Amino acid sequence: MEMSEEELSKQESGLTLELQSLMQADKARITDVSQNLVDKVAKGMIDPVKAFIHAKKIHETATLLVENLRPYLNAHLNVAKGETLTMYNIEFTQAELGVKYDYKSCGDPEYEEIMKEFEKIDKRKKAKEKELKGITKARTELDEDTGELIKINPPIKTGAMGYKTELK
C-alpha cells in the first residue's frame, strides 16, 4: 500500500526528533535521546511506524555518510600509531581494519590436506542438514552397522516474526 507525498505530509504529526548539538553529545546522551523517543512511542505519544521510518532513514543516512567519509578522514587525520585523538567525544586511534589472511599462498602441504578434508566434511554436513530440514515429525531408523533403532527428530527451528525493511 503506497501513499502519495501529499497524503503522507497530511499525516505527519507527533514526531520531531530534537537532535541537539550532536557534535557535543557523548554516548550516554545519545542513549538518553533514543530512550526518550522509545518511551514516547511506548506511551502512545508518537506513532511507532513513523518513528521506525525516521530511525531507518537516519540509520541509512548515517551508515552511508560514515562509509563515504572514511577515505577523507583517513587522508585528513594525522594520528600516529599508538596515539589517540579525542574530538567531540569521538576517539580516533590508528588501527589495521579488516585484516584478512590468505593461507592458500603459503604452500603448506599439511594445510592443503586439511582443507581438502574440511571441504569434504563440510559438503557432507550441508547435505545432511538439508535432509534433516525435510523431517517434519520424528521417525525411527535402523542403524545397519549396529542393529540399533535410532529415533531421529526434526530440527528445532528458532526465529521471530517481524518485518524486513528496505529503503526504496
Q: How far is CA 126 from CA 121, 122, 123, 129, in A?
A: 9, 6, 5, 5
For 149, phi then psi, to 5°, come to -90, 130
pTM above 0.85, yes or no: no
SS3 state of residue 58: helix
50 versus 18: which is more confidently predicted? 50
Q: Which of 37, 57, 46 is nearest to 13 (CA)?
A: 46
Cβ atoms of residues 15 and 54 within 8 Å: yes
Q: Where are the beta strands (DSSP E) in 17-159?
A: 84-87, 90-93, 139-142, 149-152
pLDDT digits (tens, 9 = 90+) for 55-70: 999 999 999 999 999 9
Which sequence spans correspond to the domains of the chain? 14-93, 103-152
